[in-house]
Structure 1
Amino acid sequence: MEIAIVLIAGIVSGFVNVVGGGGSLISLPVLIFLGLPSAVANGTNRVALMVQSLVAIGYFKNKGYFYPKLSVLLGIPALAGSIVGAKFAISLSDQMFNRVLAIVMLVVLVLIILRPEKMFLSQAKGEDLSKARLFIAALVFFGVGFYGGFIQAGIGFIIIAALALITGLSLVKINSLKVAVTLIYMSSSLLVFIISGKVDWILGFILAAGNALGAYLGGIFTVSGGDKWIRIFLVVTVSLMAAKLLGLHNLLL
């Protein structure tokens, strides 16, 4: 039953991550609810995210959406930030991390409903990859990396909004960059968790198998377009999981 739950959570989170972001809002709480300490759940989740990113990059590359130079430019500061963020995550107690995760989930829930990144995309006046814009993006992505190394959940919304506002790239191009940059900084944050012994490899690879399938399906869905029904699913699911993490689930029964 545990294997089936983790596998299904992986498929759903991998799909949602590639389509727009927020997949870790599903997989990370599921690992915690199965009894893993928060730091171990956080580290284990990253094994799957690495695999998912590799699969998604391969799909986008085959479709002609692959930008290695820009990915590295944004990925290097993100990598540095993720090391700091991962160390901070490991230092927190389970109770504190779960509370922070629940609050983050509720904040991302608001982003899912309001869709601020859609506003940024609509206001874009075309691509602007000037040196000044890229410098600003590099600074912002250090913060993106810190958050990704710390908790990761909902990082897709942050990346989409940031790149839309700073560079004016299209959503498909941004999604391609998102998975590439995630792969770069995820490698360093995962290493921090591995060194600290905070990874359950068996559950990590099971989750990764689900994420790989979900990421592939998500890549197809992203290129073809459309994601309204996914938001409805996330609103319901994330609300229930956040309530449980905050200890409020009994009030809902």
Structure 2
Amino acid sequence: MTEQLIVFVASFAANWFSALSGGGAGLIQFPMLIFMGLPFAVALATHKVATVALGLGATLRHFKHNQLEFRFSAIILLAGVPGVILGASVILAIPPQFALLSLGVLTLGLGLYSVFKPQLGMTYTPQNQSGSALIVGMLGLFIIGFLNGSITSGTGLFLTIWLIRYFGLDYQRAVAYTLVLCGLVWNGTGALVLGYLGHIAWGWMPALLAGSILGGYLGSHVAIKKGNVWIKRAFEVVTILIGLKLIFW
């Protein structure tokens, strides 16, 4: 019971912050599973399954707000899901140390970039959603999907900033797309692949799922109510913390 309570509290906190900032549940949840004794591959697969519940909780809240466009959602899924499948298929055979260090540097850079760009993500100015510019954008989505499938700590933040910087979304819309499409569909795809290739610690799953759904719903509620400024600050805090954690892991 004590272990289940620890897992629930950690999962709730991780997914509340993730739903508010547009990614980063792995900052707490993934290393927590490793610290509690799970091997890397088992912790990775277990965390990936639990993040699907984050997507479910966020979806329940964001669908009430109705910010997602069908065409753009289809673009994100079409470009990203193949990358997720490829990334999840190869990660268990790759030593994680170098990849985690590289990801940490990039994630820290995202946070600092947002800090020094005060107007980034404050307004909704859609762009690059047709022609050759869309092809480049979809390539970026594929690469981010590969990272999402292979390295699970904080890659939703890459999708959030790509939707803002390249496609012109504001923070609130970008976070909604990230949590619903990345959280539910991308992570669901990765969970299926990792579950098939590896092992999942099902004994801890009830506490993880409960914390993920509740944290995802309540974090999304706060994000919708507070708006872009709060989301931007949460994004910056989470990216900087994740970057430092990965660099000094």
Shorter-chain TM-score tier: 0.7 to 0.9
Output the amino acid matched with 1:22: G
The answer to whether the 8 A contact 2:110-2:161 is kept is no
Q: 1:240 Cα shift?
A: 6.0
Structure 2, unpaired ranges of 5+? none
Spell out, residue by residue over 1:68-105, the C-alpha distance to the aligned partner (whole angstroms, 9 max, x if none): 3321221122111111111221113xxx3256435534
Q: Using the alignment, how far apart are the partners of 2:187 and 2:118 within structure 1?
A: 28
Spell out, residue by residue over 1:18-57, the C-alpha distance to the aligned partner (whole angstroms, 9 max, x if none): 1122121211111111111111111100111111101111
Q: Does 1:97 align with 2:99?
A: no
Find the counterpart in structure 2 of residue 115 from structure 1: 114
Q: 1:230 Cα shift?
A: 7.7
State the superposition RMSD in angstroms.
2.8
Q: Using the alignment, how far apart are the partners of 1:46 and 1:173 within structure 2?
A: 23
Find the counterpart in structure 1 of residue 161 from structure 2: 161
SS in 2 for 1:121: coil
Find the counterpart in structure 2 of residue 22 from structure 1: 24
- Cα 1:110–1:137 change in 2 (3 A) is closer
Find the counterpart in structure 1 of residue 178 from structure 2: 178
Instruction: Provide TM-score, normalisation by structure 2.
Output: 0.84
Find the counterpart in structure 2 of residue 216 from structure 1: 217
Output the amino acid matched with 2:206: F
The answer to whether the 8 A contact 1:19-1:218 is kept is yes
Q: Using the alignment, how far apart are the partners of 1:53 and 1:142 within structure 2?
A: 19
Q: 1:113 Cα shift?
A: 4.2
- Cα 1:64–1:89 change in 2 (3 A) is same
The answer to whether the 8 A contact 1:74-1:137 is kept is no
Q: 1:197 Cα shift?
A: 3.3
- Cα 1:195–1:108 change in 2 (3 A) is same
Output the amino acid matched with 2:167: T
- Cα 1:202–1:221 change in 2 (3 A) is same
Q: Using the alignment, how far apart are the partners of 2:11 and 2:101 within structure 1?
A: 19
- Cα 1:60–1:236 change in 2 (3 A) is closer
The answer to whether the 8 A contact 1:15-1:215 is kept is yes
The answer to whether the 8 A contact 1:117-1:157 is kept is no
- Cα 1:117–1:211 change in 2 (3 A) is farther
The answer to whether the 8 A contact 2:111-2:235 is kept is no
SS in 1 for 2:11: helix
Find the counterpart in structure 1 of residue 139 from structure 2: 139
Instruction: Provide TM-score, normalisation by structure 1.
Output: 0.83
Moved over 4 A (4+): 116-120, 122-125, 229-242
Residue 50 of structure 1, aligned match among 44, 49, 52: 52
Q: 1:67 Cα shift?
A: 2.5
Find the counterpart in structure 2 of residue 36 from structure 1: 38
Q: Using the alignment, how far apart are the partners of 2:85 and 2:206 within structure 1?
A: 22
Find the counterpart in structure 1 of residue 90 from structure 2: 88
Output the amino acid matched with 2:44: N
Q: Using the alignment, how far apart are the partners of 2:159 and 2:107 within structure 1?
A: 13
Percentage of identical aligned residues: 24
- Cα 1:209–1:98 change in 2 (3 A) is farther
Q: 1:17 Cα shift?
A: 1.4
Find the counterpart in structure 2 of residue 65 from structure 1: 67
Find the counterpart in structure 2 of residue 192 from structure 1: 193
SS in 1 for 2:28: helix
Spell out, residue by residue over 1:131-173, the C-alpha distance to the aligned partner (whole angstroms, 9 max, x if none): 1243322221111110000012122321122111222112111
- Cα 1:64–1:43 change in 2 (3 A) is same
Q: 1:199 Cα shift?
A: 1.2
